[in-house]
Structure 1
Amino acid sequence: MVFIRALLSLVSLLTLGAAYSAVSDDTLKSFPSPSDEFNIKTGKILAPILRTRVSGTEGSTAVLQHFLDFFKNELPEWKVELHNSSSTTPVSNGKEVPFVNVIATRDPPSTGVGDVGRLALVAHYDSKLTPEGFIGAIDSAAPCAMILHTARSIDKALTKKWAAGDGADDLEEKKGVQILLLDGEEAFQSWTATDSLYGARALAESWEFAYHPATSTYSTPLDSIDLFLLLDLLGSARPTIPSYFKTTHWAYKNMAKIEHRLREHGLFKSSPNHAAKMAKRENKKKRKEPYFLPEAEKDHNAFRGGYIEDDHIPFMLRGVEILHMIPSPFPHVWHDITDDGEHLDMDTVEDWTRLVTAFAAEWMELEGFFDVKSEKREEYTEKSEFGIP
């Protein structure tokens, strides 16, 4: 069964790769900055997540309510569901700890159950039990904030595209976006197959047998995930993200192309060649760019099957295709009390947000549906392997 799903998933990815459409330079430049909304003290998106939020605690409930309020007030067109489960942990003395996953979905209107393939944007929102007072800014408050900002940034363009009827009668064009904010990723004592990934394991197991109607395009919610884009440990300066999986290397390359374009246009604030940094330097000579995604040229024979255990594992084992955005090596603040808002590199956080937004916009083929200020819009055409004009 897993082999059949993997084969069908590969065919689906080949189709998606052919349909993937780059956005123009004007559109790339038009994406909104999170700015004050990512202020670590007062920002309405990020600040409420920067607190202890161990699964089953008051902090977790407060952050969950923040997510629900955000979708209610900012993204009312999204369908929001909660997936509840419970489990004992090595430190709960036999007591069941509740885990709550947030599932937010935006599909084209008038589509049937099981007829939409989705880009899943995923992060975990719980924080680690130890050390006491651990915030987990990169792990993964900042990634959650990036996803929320991305969803709002593309929301109006999705509405415009679907209102225009683009691809409405084409089954292959029925693409949606799904956000999974997962609970219980962290181990309570030490990382094992049973003390970790509580929410992800429960959701993947539930979805495996949640069958859609027999006439549906996709048989289960798992099959409906065209790509599971997982963000973790993002927000420290100079991250290096390998390409972990051969079958999604094409998607990694597309994201790398976007990164190259953003840097070329001076839109990456963390770049040593950003105008604000260049203005402060006596030596105006350009420095080497520290690319987040350096393995676009990776040969297919170089994939050795290694990966980092994370929330994608229960989904990957059931045939879901994964694009894992996690640095290797890990940032130095990983699982340290210093992983807090003050130790985030905010330029890097903002750059990741713009990169993920652009990737989602290209995946959903939203060129022409954003409010672009430039009066003259030229279609983007790739002129090099990395799409640099």
Structure 2
Amino acid sequence: MRVAKRDPREIPLVLEAQRIWRGLNARTGRDTGFTQAGILFNAENEREGAGYETWLKHLDGLGVDCRMLSGAEFSAMFPQSRLRPPAALYCADDGRAEPQKAAPAIAERARECGAHILTECAVRGIETSGGAISAVVTERGTIRCRAAVLAGGAWSEMFTRSLDAGIHLPQLKVKNSVLRTEPHDGGPDQAMWAGDFAIRKRQDGGYTIASGIGNVVDIVPASFRYALDFVPALKAEWRALMLRAGWRFLDEARMPRRWSLDEPSPFEYCRVLDPKPSRKLADMAMASAQKAFPALASAKVAQRWAGYIDATPDAIPVISGVAKIPGFFIATGFSGHGFGIGPGAGRLMADLVLGRNPVVDPREFRLERFVDGSRIELLAGY
């Protein structure tokens, strides 16, 4: 849940999310693991440091504790580190939480407040009446409704395409590999990005470590479908994207594009996207973290995993109603920022569904930006 180096268009939503995170333990009556320990982005050179200083101007007047550190200040803050950046961006207000605790805490509190949560229950599609949504069809039956929100992560594009409603949702999957260590001393208390690795301390005393720039993009049929949409992203972030051709292309090519609502959908045959992690990329990140913080040399790896990031061409989410289907809403494409920004996104979506004054201006997150002639731009480095 960082404001550090955010795309300026996301900053208002991030600040709302941080406000909610700060009170979420009390609101749920449970521990989410949230703590405001701060986040740092190390500058690899003076030019990058100057870019951070320019970005800081987006926070003017917002009362956010975010500032530049000189190389000497960084060394004083992390005397155990061998890193020697010329400068670093430090946002003390930024924080972290534990997904394994926060997600159940929110769900359990929602149930206590009267929400019904169905697990192991795939949604096959929707029904409409007079052009507006009237029901959601699940594998367990039909649920009548006047509004529905698609928050399907990396599945969202496939779902919208199956509706055959002409919804243009350019979204691709990007795989990132991660590892966590057993409890260990010697690393930073603050979360940190340092180019070839990113690290955060866990509540259990271990560390989560991943590559700072190593993201695998499998070439699949959707890559060609949305190639023109993603040209700006490729130009801005080509160094951080590793294009790969493999069996994933055939796996996705075999998936049906349409299905009957009275038969099993692809979401029932593959309930969880759980890709195999890249041991090489995760180990490279671990080695870089150990080089930067020698005390981590004896840290033991407890788990490795990978996940698919639901990426949009401009790397900011879609939080929007769908004009073609009144009552149908989409919240997806968080491009790796979903956990931290989630509470703010949920608040904004609730406002849109209920017709309330939105907590932040939703214009930047509208679905129509991909088809209304708006300039789609990924702001490099965010």
Greater relative CO, 1 or 2 (CA 8 Å, sep 6+)? 1
Q: Which structure dedicates a bigger proportion of its chain to strand?
A: 2
Q: TM-score, normalising length from structure 1? A: 0.29
Q: TM-score, normalising length from structure 2? A: 0.29
